[in-house]
């Protein structure tokens, strides 16, 4: 097997056999299976649904579930590696062919890959490490009417509650701002937005 | 917050022994700014300058503290209002001097009271930077801008005395989070202008 695009490590031996089995599926069966796979890849949390759909596919096409799961594991190696390495659909196609999949099926899969890659990329980016991510912000503002030192005050205060994710826990941070500070904060945040937009 | 007591004005007359008007001015400022707990040490420092006993110094300092804080609490700004506080037989010149000193300092004192009132932790500073994430373990090549925001937050001044605790919190915001935040801040601004225009 020549150099593969999606991985630098040697591929498990079972993969060739799995590809050979895949080649036995009709075009329609392959297309149905591909659909199930991509639906899972774009919604990785829906594990239950994925397993149900696989088992339905197995029943409908009279394939045993065990071997089918192995085949699926082998197929998924390619899109997972391709996503990490930003592979083009051409490279994905070439890899499948190198693994032993028929040209027709490899091309079909590569096309589906191209169609789904924006969603998949967005998902991968979303999983990227974030430090102390700001999750939520709540606010209230009001007027201080009086205090123990000043009978009548009448000044405006603004209170923010910032919910920050520290590791796996959420932490609440409470801050109070004066009015000038608020306007200055707003101004700075607008500058950040302009900066972020110029880099997007 | 302290209320004026009967003995206070008698104690204030001790100021007649002060070496100069500036000394009186200085003492007024120190008495206002000092929290009740620190009045004892202040009296000990002030006593020798006035050639009075420790007990008299304490009474004086306490009286000045009460008087200045009372004026600030009530928000008195006119000379007549302050002059009325003094009893009839109070020394005329001293009364006028004290009123004058109080009027000079009233707005600074009011700001000081407002700055030290209880509140949630306060924002003291804010810094930001924009980074571009180019690579990660989940995707080898990308160009995702992200914002790092650092807020410096000071705990309630009253709890910390002279050593305010300032903590720095650095957070990361994605573009989406920033947009949502700006939306929220915009709504606050709109509501503030609606309130201001009423």
Render pLDDT for A54-65 as a digit per residue (tens, 0 to 9): 999 999 988 888
Closest B-chain CA to A162: B171
What pLDDT score does B157 carry? 66
How many interface pairs between A and B have CB atoms less than 8 angstroms apart? Answer: 160
Q: Using the beta-carbon criterion (under 8 Å), do B184 and A199 form an inter-chain contact?
A: no
Binary contact (A133, B174; C-beta < 8 A): yes
- pLDDT-flagged residues of chain B (< 50): none
A175/A161 Cα distance (integer angstroms): 7
| Phi and psi based region of residue A156 (left: phi greater than 0; alpha: psi -120 to 50; beta: remaining) | beta
For residue A1, pLDDT beyond 60:
no
How is residue B164 written in tokens?
């305010």
Distance in angstroms between the alpha carbons of the first and the last residue of chain A: 40
pLDDT of res. B125: 93
- Tell which of A176, A178, A183, A184 to mutate to test the B interface (max B CBs under 10 Å): A176
Mutation target for B interface from A85, A126, A147: give the one with most B CBs within 10 A: A147
Q: Note whether A34 and A109 are within 8 A (CB).
A: yes
Alpha carbons within 13 angstroms on the beta-carbon side of residue B128 total: 21
Q: Which helix (H) or strand (E) holds A195?
A: helix A179-199
Distance from CA of A61 to the nearest CA of B (A): 35
Rounded CA-CA distance B32/B127 in Å is 35
At B76-96, the pLDDT tens digits run 889 898 888 888 888 888 889
Closest alpha carbon to A40 in A76, A92, A64: A76
Give the start-end residues of each E strand in A118-166: 133-144, 155-166
Q: How confident is the model at residue A4 (pLDDT cuts 50, 70, 90)?
A: confident
Task: Give me the pLDDT at residue B192, please.
Answer: 87
Q: Which chain A residue shows the shortest CA-CA distance from B2?
A: A149
Q: What is the mean pLDDT of residues A97-125?
A: 91
The dihedrals phi and psi of A146, each to the nearest 5 degrees, come to -165, 170
Rounded to the nearest 10 degrees, how much is the dihedral formed by the CA atoms of B181, A142, A179, A150?
Answer: -150
Please indicate if any CB of chain A lies within 8 Å of the CB of B169: yes
Q: Tokens 């009530």 belong to which residue?
A: B74
Nearby residues of B24 by Cβ (< 8 Å), 6 or more positions away: B15, B18, B97, B98, B101
B130 touches chain A (CB under 8 A): yes
Question: Could you give the residue ranges of the DSSP H alpha helices within B75-91?
Answer: 79-83
- Residue B192 burial (CB < 10 Å; 0-12/13-18/19+)? middle
- Using DSSP, state whether B148 is helix, strand or coil: strand
Please, how many CA atoms are within 13 Å of residue B8, restricted to the half-sphere of its CB?
Answer: 18
Answer yes or no: is the ipTM higher than 0.90: no
Distance CA B198, CA B177 (A): 32
Cβ-defined contact of A144 to B117 (cutoff 8 Å) = yes
The pLDDT assigned to B160 comes to: 63
Hey, is the C-beta of B120 within 8 angstroms of any chain A C-beta? yes
């Amino acid at each position: 097997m020549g150099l593969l695009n999606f991985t630098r490590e040697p591929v498990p031996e079972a993969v060739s056999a799995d590809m050979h089995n895949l080649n036995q599926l009709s075009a329609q069966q392959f297309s149905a299976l591909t659909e199930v796979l991509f639906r899972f890849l774009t919604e990785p949390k829906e594990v239950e649904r994925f397993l149900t759909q696989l088992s339905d596919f197995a029943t409908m096409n009279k394939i045993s579930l065990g071997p089918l799961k192995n085949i699926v594991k082998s197929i998924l190696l390619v899109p997972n590696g391709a996503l990490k390495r930003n592979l083009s659909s051409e490279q994905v196609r070439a890899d499948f062919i190198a693994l032993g999949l028929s040209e027709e099926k490899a091309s079909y899969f590569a096309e589906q890959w191209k169609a789904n890659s924006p969603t998949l990329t967005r998902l991968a980016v979303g999983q990227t490490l974030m430090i102390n991510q700001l999750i939520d912000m709540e606010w209230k503002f009001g007027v201080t009417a009086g205090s123990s030192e000043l009978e009548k005050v009448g000044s405006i205060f603004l209170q923010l509650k910032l919910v920050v994710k520290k590791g796996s826990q959420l932490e609440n941070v409470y801050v109070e701002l004066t009015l000038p500070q608020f306007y200055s904060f707003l101004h700075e945040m607008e500058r950040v937005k302009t900066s972020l937009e110029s880099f997007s | 917050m302290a209320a004026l007591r009967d003995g206070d004005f008698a104690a204030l007359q001790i100021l007649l022994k002060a070496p100069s008007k500036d000394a009186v001015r200085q003492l007024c400022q120190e008495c206002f700014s000092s929290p009740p707990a620190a009045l004892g040490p202040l009296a000990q420092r002030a006593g020798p300058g006035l050639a009075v006993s420790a007990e008299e110094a304490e009474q004086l300092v306490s009286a000045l503290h009460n008087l200045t804080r009372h004026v600030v609490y009530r928000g008195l700004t006119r000379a007549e209002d302050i002059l009325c506080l003094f009893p009839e037989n109070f020394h005329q010149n001293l009364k006028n001097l004290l009123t004058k000193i109080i009027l000079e300092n009233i707005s600074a004192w009011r700001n000081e009271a407002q700055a030290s009132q209880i509140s949630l932790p306060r924002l003291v500073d804010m810094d930001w930077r924009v980074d571009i994430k180019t690579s990660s373990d989940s995707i080898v090549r990308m160009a995702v801008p992200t914002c790092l925001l650092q807020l410096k937050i000071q705990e309630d001044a009253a709890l910390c005395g002279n050593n305010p605790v300032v903590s720095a919190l650095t957070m990361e915001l994605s573009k989406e989070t920033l947009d949502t935040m700006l939306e929220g801040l915009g709504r606050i601004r709109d509501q503030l202008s609606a309130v201001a225009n009423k």
